[in-house]
Amino acid sequence: MIGILGGTFDPPHWGHVQLAKNFIEILELEELIWLPAGQPWQKSTRITPASIRYDLTKAAAQDLQNEIDHAKSPVKIQVSRIELDRQGPSYTIDTARELRSMYGPNKSLVWLMGADTYQNLPSWNDWQNLPEYLHLAVASRRISPRAEQATIPAHYPQTIQEIIRIFDSRITQAAHDLKISPSGKIFFDELFHVDLSSTELREMLHDALLTSKLKQAISPKVLELIYSLSIYQANPPNESTN
């Protein structure tokens, strides 16, 4: 089974690293692909250039590799340029089709994501068809009406109601179900939670604060590269520990 971790990675942070490590263990992945977006169509045009985000992602992947090596896991970790080398906006559905073409019809492919990304799916292009090409693994409490509820609660946001209507029948609580089929399932890990924002981290870096939170939020090789390339910050960092 191959896991795919896509994102803008502007910058990648410990949340991404730990989410990947978490699903490597739970799903017993044989391979993990970091997939930085080329031209994210939903993002501001003021994102860091793709070549720099690629280098940052490689640094994060190395930090993940170090974590995995320490745990003596045989998983293979790589960083893909699929979206970076594609012309035009980055649509996940196009990437899913390309990955399925690359790996053939029988390989289990799993797109990894956090709760915010899952809840934002209805804004994605052709999102309803993603399970035709791969599984989804979500680090979140399951978003679904309780078993005793015959209908979707009216107070649920419209986007959540739409996700439930289309995806609820695909949800599984068994990681093994993702291993025995190439696509089509949605798995929730309700114990893992990420509370980090790349936007907030960029603001902290811009203010040139080498805070304890930054050290805890951004993995060592990524933070080292950020400072060596003078990315995000207007001035050199000070040694504040606030």
Whether CATH 1.10.10.10 fits 2-195 = no
Strand runs labelled E in 86-184:
109-114, 135-139, 171-172
CB 68, CB 24: distance < 8 Å: yes
Q: Where are the domains of the chain?
A: 2-195
55 has pLDDT over 80: yes
Whether the per-residue pLDDT at 151 is higher than 60: the answer is no
Cβ-in-10-Å burial (0-12, 13-18, 19+) of 16 comes to buried
pLDDT at 233: 73
> In whole angstroms, what is the distance from residue 108 CA to residue 184 CA?
10
User: What tokens does 179 get?
Assistant: 């291993």
Cis peptide before 40 (omega within 30 of 0): no
Which tens digits make up the pLDDT trace of 110-140? Answer: 999 998 888 889 999 999 999 999 999 999 8
Nearest to 188 by CA among 130, 124, 119: 119
Query: Is pLDDT at 57 greater than 90 in this prediction?
Result: yes
pLDDT value at 88 more than 70: yes
Please state the pTM of the whole predicted model. Answer: 0.86
